[in-house]
Amino acid sequence: MVLVISAVVFVTMRLIPVDPAELVVGPYATADQRELARRSLGLDQPVLVQYGIYLQSALRGDLGRSIKSGKEVTLLIRDTLPNTLMLGGLALALAYLIAIPIGVVAAMRQNTALDQGAMAFALLGIAVPNFWLGLLLILVFSVSLRWLPATGSGGWQHLVLPTITLGLQYTAIVARMTRSSVLEVLRQDYIRALRAKGLVERQVVYVHALRNAVIPIISLLGLHMSGVVGGAVIVETVFAWPGMGRLLVNSIIGRDYPVVQGVLTLLGIAVLLANLLADALYTVADPRIKYSAQR
């Protein structure tokens, strides 16, 4: 899959109707200067030969150099990836810590005002676009109240608004999924048997029902982990956060194709790793899956 992803990204970059050599020598260069730049970039070779050279370099950890800055792509990713992982990790942690209790309580109080309020909050969180929410938070907490910085990086204060903006949608989705999954489990016969034995409702829900309802939530976690960098593209751009999403946007605007190619390949690998981790967590939540796999 990694090989397929790298091939698709490589070919897609070559299909873009812009000559990278023109970015190096400028739009007013002569034909000889452009041809010399194409040779220096290896663009005079067939596409399959170019891909073979790129693949050999990538296996050594060399993803090429930025056309704009001349820096190695791996160094640019190394400088920005930790910031994206920090922002995405905090957003996911905040989302799941808030959403799972909200979903469980809503399921326990089905059709009450608490349930309806929680689901209205979840619907609002899904409907509000990230870029609009980010600008609204900046207007309120940075411009009007002056409590938090609007853009940039530094202390923990710079993380508050981007984390809330990125994590709200995840919170809403996980809360709705938790509620529906817990409700489905609470209708099972073994739950009625546990209640008939006299177990406290809180123990029935949090000890027995929630563990059996966690499989769909783990599936969402895998999707969210793989998509957090893609979701951070908008948030990092709004808040000028120096992460990999902002690096991708700036590289696309500047037509810096080696950087775009390296970031997109890394995103594809991140999706594969996130799904692999989700599959591993299934066996922790449900031992029957582990038993079936060993068989």
3-state secondary structure of 116: helix
Q: Which residues contact 88 (CB under 8 A, 6 or more apart)?
A: 166, 225, 228, 229, 231, 232
List pLDDT tens digits, range 175-229.
Answer: 988 888 888 888 888 888 888 888 887 788 877 787 788 888 887 887 787 777 6
Say if CB 125 and CB 169 are below 8 A apart. yes
Global confidence as pTM: 0.79
Q: Residue type at 64? A: G
Q: What is the DSSP annotation of 222-256?
A: HHHHHHHHHHHHHHHHHTT--SHHHHHHHHHHTT-
Measuring CA to CA, how many Å separate 143 from each of 135, 146, 150, 167? 10, 6, 8, 22
List pLDDT tens digits, range 85-135.
Answer: 888 889 989 889 999 889 888 888 888 888 888 888 888 888 888 889 989
As a whole number of angstroms, the distance between CA 250 and CA 260 comes to 9
Bridge partner list, 65: 72
Of residues 41 and 149, more confidently modeled: 149
Report which of 223, 255, 249, 225 is spatially closest to residue 236, judged by C-alpha positions: 249
Q: Copy the structure tokens of residue 97.
A: 């810590």
Query: What secondary structure letter does DSSP report for 187?
Result: T
Complete domains list, the chain, with CATH = 2-59 (no CATH), 85-294 (1.10.3720.10)
Mean pLDDT of 267-289: 76
Tokens 């005002």 sit at which residue? Answer: 113
CB neighbourhood size of 244 (10 A): 28
CB burial string 209-243: b at 16+ within 10 A, e below: bbebbbeebbbbbbebbbbbbebbbbbbbbbebbb
